[in-house]
Structure 1
Amino acid sequence: MSAIGGWLMLLMMGTLVVDVIWRSFFTPIFGMAELSVFVMMIVVYLSFSRSEEYDEHVRLELLLDATSGRARAALLLAVRLLALLTVAIMFYAVTINAWAAVRNREAMEGIVSLPIWPVKIIMVIGMTFFLVQTALNLFGAPKSEKPDPVSTDEVF
């Protein structure tokens, strides 16, 4: 998912550069800015699961750092349960919204009509992986037992 997101970021930057060049020297290409917004939404939703996998989401660790032993484990379990519940609610909301968009063939109207429903389907795919990764973090091994994605020990 991260690799796909990276390539999509490159695509988004390319569409914006082409849009700026065309607006400056030629006639504007309609729909390019909207298309880059769609790509950005896809990148964000496909990147959620990687951030969850490596514990890179923003969180307040004041209580977690102040506790140790069983209290820390219990607090971490509560946080992960709450995270799973939150992601499940978000997954439900995105799925219902995407289903309505597919049913209604939702599109962004303008000079160029761009369909929104394919983007929403990809958002559901990203949320699915996010929900699965959140459940794996809850039921899997503690983060301290997982290796770092980039270890400096292997370099030196």
Structure 2
Amino acid sequence: MPEFVKSYVRIVDTVNRRVGRATMYLIVVMMGILIYSSVSKTFLLPSMWTLEMAQFVMAAYYLLGGAYSLQMDSHVRMDLVYGRWSPRTKAAVDAVTIVMLFVYLGFLLYGSIASTTYAIQFNETSYSAWSPYMAPIKIIMTIGITLTLLQTTSIFIKDLAVAIGRPIQ
């Protein structure tokens, strides 16, 4: 593989590893919000923002963590015959089937860009009583989908390299 392709793989893997590791802590943030929600409903006045904010944090968690999940190969896979194949066969099949993921992520990215543009252009807010601006979570959505698409490209390159017998170290 050319050096610029290897550099691309290293850079994307590094960025997604760092973003993924940092994203793990959003679970703690979400737990804090939900604990505050429970305490405020029991002892204080209920807060309007807690449930929706917890949903936003959870959405950021899975959108920004998706690329890291792919990178760590911790996603769900049907393993009827896959486990019996050689690494080279697995890589070749993965390189072919990942095309469907490219199409899916392409549609998601197209939709997220359109949705984010709309949210920014028209100052879109949620329909809840709290009515927060939607642009921040939609920007996070677009970034997460982009990172996942970049990681998918990195995985595709690594699978091709293994399939042709020249794995990237």
Q: TM-score range by the shorter chain?
A: 0.7 to 0.9
Q: Which runs of 5+ in 1 are unaligned?
A: 148-156
The TM-score normalised by the length of structure 2 is: 0.75
For the residue of structure 1 that corresponds to 2:47, the secondary structure is: coil
Deviation at 1:35, TM superposition (A): 0.7
Q: Does 1:97 align with 2:115?
A: yes
Indicate the residue corresponding to 2:74 in structure 1.
Answer: 56
Q: Which runs of 5+ in 2 are unaligned?
A: 1-18
For the residue of structure 1 that corresponds to 2:46, the secondary structure is: coil
Q: How many residues align?
A: 146
Q: Aligned in 2, Cα 1:79/1:26: closer, same or farther, shift over 3 Å?
A: same
Identity %: 26
Q: CA RMSD in A?
A: 2.4
User: 1:70-126, CA deviations, whole angstroms, 9 ceiling, x for partnerless residues?
Assistant: 754432221122222222222222222222222221111333221111100011111
C-alpha contact (below 8 Å) 2:91/2:162 kept by paired residues? no
Structure with the bigger RCO (C-alpha within 8 Å, sep 6+) is: 2
Indicate the residue corresponding to 2:28 in structure 1.
Answer: 10
Q: Aligned in 2, Cα 1:93/1:110: closer, same or farther, shift over 3 Å?
A: closer
C-alpha contact (below 8 Å) 1:64/1:75 kept by paired residues? no
Q: Aligned in 2, Cα 1:109/1:73: closer, same or farther, shift over 3 Å?
A: closer
Indicate the residue corresponding to 2:157 in structure 1.
Answer: 139
C-alpha contact (below 8 Å) 1:49/1:133 kept by paired residues? yes
The TM-score normalised by the length of structure 1 is: 0.81
Counterpart Cα distance in 1 of 2:59 and 2:129: 21
Which of 42, 52, 58 is the aligned partner of 1:24? 42
Indicate the residue corresponding to 1:86 in structure 2.
Answer: 104
Which of 121, 124, 127 is the aligned partner of 2:145? 127
C-alpha contact (below 8 Å) 1:31/1:112 kept by paired residues? yes
The one-letter code matched in structure 2 to 1:105 is N
Q: Aligned in 2, Cα 1:9/1:112: closer, same or farther, shift over 3 Å?
A: same
Which of 115, 121, 124 is the aligned partner of 1:106? 124
Indicate the residue corresponding to 1:37 in structure 2.
Answer: 55
